[in-house]
Amino acid sequence: MSDAIDNMSGSERAAIFMMSLGEQKAAEVLMHMEPSEVQKIGTIMASLNDVSSENVRAVLDEFVEVANKQSGVGVDPDEYIKNMLVNALGKEKAGGVIDRILLGRNAKGLDSLKWMGPKAVANVVKNEHPQIIAIVLSHLEGEHAAEVLQHLPERARSDVLMRIATLEGVSPAALQELNQLAIVKYFMRTIV
């Protein structure tokens, strides 16, 4: 840390940093702070007079140094994503999102549909024959399949449900073909 800012409190450093951002960017940061924090920083900002360029430079250098130490680069991305989502959403809500992000990133074909949101899966299969949709839904977890079904056109739901109920088995060749179709459709969705 620079001698220029050794005697400053963290709040004073934050106030100098905020002032160096400019009005618009500082306002964007303040929107994410608690009212008590905004008041504290605002009060300090109002009391700052004639901040030397040396102090501003020292505060910015310190920020860059801290940011470099805490950035996601060079850390385990899986752990970083888990911690970030748990902090943002809470442990219970983050669980499903974490699984979809981390476990589904290498999935292909039908398996990739397991990691997509229900609406996205419905968009992929909505124009397929009801038998194809039934096979796809039978490969998803029950709750996920039910959510996908809710996003399908109402006129197709009963036909798809009937086909799922009477589905006995699917030949490996048909599954392979369906798997390749799912891969093609997935890439078509991501390119467009």
User: Is a pLDDT exceeding 60 seen at residue 191?
Assistant: no
Q: What is the pLDDT of residue 88?
A: 76
Tokens standing for 122? 């419905």
CATH class, domain 106-191, is: mainly alpha
Element (H, E) at 40: helix 35-47
Q: What is the pLDDT of residue 148?
A: 92
What would the DSSP string read from start to end of 104-149?
TTT--THHHHHTS-HHHHHHHHTTS-HHHHHHHHHTS-HHHHHHHH
- Average pLDDT in the chain: 77
Q: What is the DSSP letter of 100?
A: I
Question: Does residue 168 or residue 103 have the better pLDDT?
Answer: 168
The 10s digit of each residue's pLDDT in 71-111 is 555 566 677 777 777 777 777 776 666 665 655 454 456 66
Predicted TM-score (pTM) above 0.85: no
- The mean pLDDT value for 10-25 works out to 86
Q: What is the DSSP letter of 72?
A: S
Question: Does residue 110 or residue 64 have the better pLDDT?
Answer: 64
- The mean pLDDT value for 111-127 works out to 80
